[in-house]
Amino acid sequence: MNNPSSRGVAVVTGASSGIGAVYADRLARRGHDLILVARNEERLKSVADRIRGETGREAGILPADLTDRSSLARVEAVLREDETVTVLVNNAGIGSVASILQEDIDKVDAMIDLNIRALTRLCYAAAPAFVARGRGTIINISSVVGIAAEMLNGVYSASKSYVLSFGHSLQKDLADKGVRVQTVLPGATATEFWDVAGYPAQKTSAITMSAEDAVDAALAGLDSGELVTIPGLHEGEAWDRWEADRRELSKKFGNASPAPRYGL
């Protein structure tokens, strides 16, 4: 890049629209240069041109289908080898509202590829590189359905539960190595996600948040040191209780004999 930022380069996946495009805009305004990743090259160019014009930051594009292994490998290589990269936003994802009795298994398989496999491989590329560089931030976009698992398609909800659990593990592994990991759980957000998922009416629901508000809240959470940010949860202490109870419960699993309630 011609005018490298002291804040480094942010790689944002799913950056051609919605939450990813807003992250790109906001990170540029915070002083980051950008590498924008998505399948749609023309839309990526449009986002990059607008950001360059409005912020003066560099915005490169990397068209890639993250369900394709060769495309994914190109993005992994950037994360491993480009020493200017300091932020990874794993935003790319697809969803569904269909039940197991309605959904096509090939579409489900593609969802797993993007929501789980691609996110995991990008984290595995970025984390060691960030540790070697002495700094870095990984932002993984999960969803409230990672907790409220019954709300949408079961595989989609499970994929977002994976992102949340994986984030806890990353935080444990990287906390003392100069790498920050934030997991963001948006609720319903007014993006094209709902068109793809098969329920466009959700975009105009009274409970649906704008992408701008969701990202601005997530970045405020990052600034305040939150490990998990839920933009639409007004009772923040409810998450603190949930997390404390989860960690306390996990201490109670290590028993060599079955519980008395099983009568063995």
**DSSP conformational letter for 120:** H
Cβ atoms of residues 46 and 20 within 8 Å: no
CA distance 171 to 175: 5
Q: What is the DSSP string of 163-178?
A: HHHHHHHHHHHHTTTT
Cβ atoms of residues 151 and 145 within 8 Å: yes
For residue 16, CA distances in Å to 13, 35, 51, 71, 167 come to 8, 11, 12, 16, 24
> Is 162 one of the catalytic residues?
no
User: Looking at the DSSP assignment, which residues form a beta bridge with residue 141?
Assistant: 184
Phi-psi region of 58 (alpha: psi -120 to 50; beta: other; left: phi over 0): beta
CA distance 183 to 222: 9
β-strand 85-90 against 59-63: which pairing, if any? unpaired
User: Looking at the DSSP assignment, which residues form a beta bridge with residue 181?
Assistant: 138
Tokens of 264: 């063995």
* Of 23, 124, 156, 262, catalytic: 156
- Residue in 138, 103, 132, 101 with CA at minimum distance from that of residue 119: 138
CA distance 229 to 235: 12
Cα three-residue angle 211-216-220, rounded to 5 degrees: 150
Q: Active-site residues: which are they?
A: 156
